[in-house]
Chains A and B, each alone.
Chain A
Amino acid sequence: GAVVSQHPSRVICKSGTSVKIECRSLDFQATTMFWYRQFPKKSLMLMATSNEGSKATYEQGVEKDKFLINHASLTLSTLTVTSAHPEDSSFYICSARDTGKNSPLHFGNGTRLTVT
Chain B
Amino acid sequence: GENVEQHPSTLSVQEGDSAVIKCTYSDSASNYFPWYKQELGKRPQLIIDIRSNVGEKKDQRIAVTLNKTAKHFSLHITETQPEDSAVYFCAVVLGGYQKVTFGTGTKLQVIP
Chain A residues in the interface with B (C-beta under 8 A) = 32, 34, 41-44, 46, 91, 93, 97, 104-110, 112
Q: Is the CB of A104 within 8 A of B49?
A: yes
Does B41 lie within 8 Å of A110, measured CB to CB?
Answer: yes
A104 to B91, CA, bound (A): 12
Inter-chain contact B89/A43, CB cutoff 8 Å: yes
Q: Which of A44, A91, A106, A109 contacts B89 (CB 8 A)?
A: A44
What chain A residues lie within 8 Å of B34 (beta carbons)? 104-105
Chain A residues with CB under 8 A of B97: 32, 97, 105
Chain B contributes a number of interface residues (CB within 8 A of A) equal to: 19
Q: Which of B11-19, B57-65, B77-85, B100-108 contacts A (4 or more CB under 8 A)?
A: B100-108
Give the total number of A-B pairs whose CB atoms are below 8 A apart.
41
For the residues of A in contact with B, the DSSP-based class is strand
Whole-angstrom distance between the Cβ of A30 and the nearest chain B Cβ:
10
Contact of A34 with B100 in the complex, beta carbons under 8 Å = yes
9 residue pairs of the A-B complex, CB under 8 angstroms, read: A32-B97, A41-B107, A43-B102, A91-B41, A104-B34, A104-B49, A105-B97, A106-B46, A107-B44
CB pair B103 A43 closer than 8 Å: yes
In the complex the two chains form, what is the Cα distance from A93 to B45 in whole Å? 12
| Minimum Cβ distance to chain A for residue B107 (Å) | 8
Contact pattern, B 29-41, Cβ under 8 Å of A = 1, otherwise 0: 0000010100001
Known: A42-B105, A105-B34. A110 touches B49 (CB 8 A): no
Complex-state Cα separation, A97 to B41, whole angstroms: 21
Contact of A110 with B102 in the complex, beta carbons under 8 Å: no
Contact B43 A93 (CB under 8 A): yes
Question: Given A42-B105, A43-B89, A43-B105: A105 and B43 within 8 A (CB)?
Answer: no
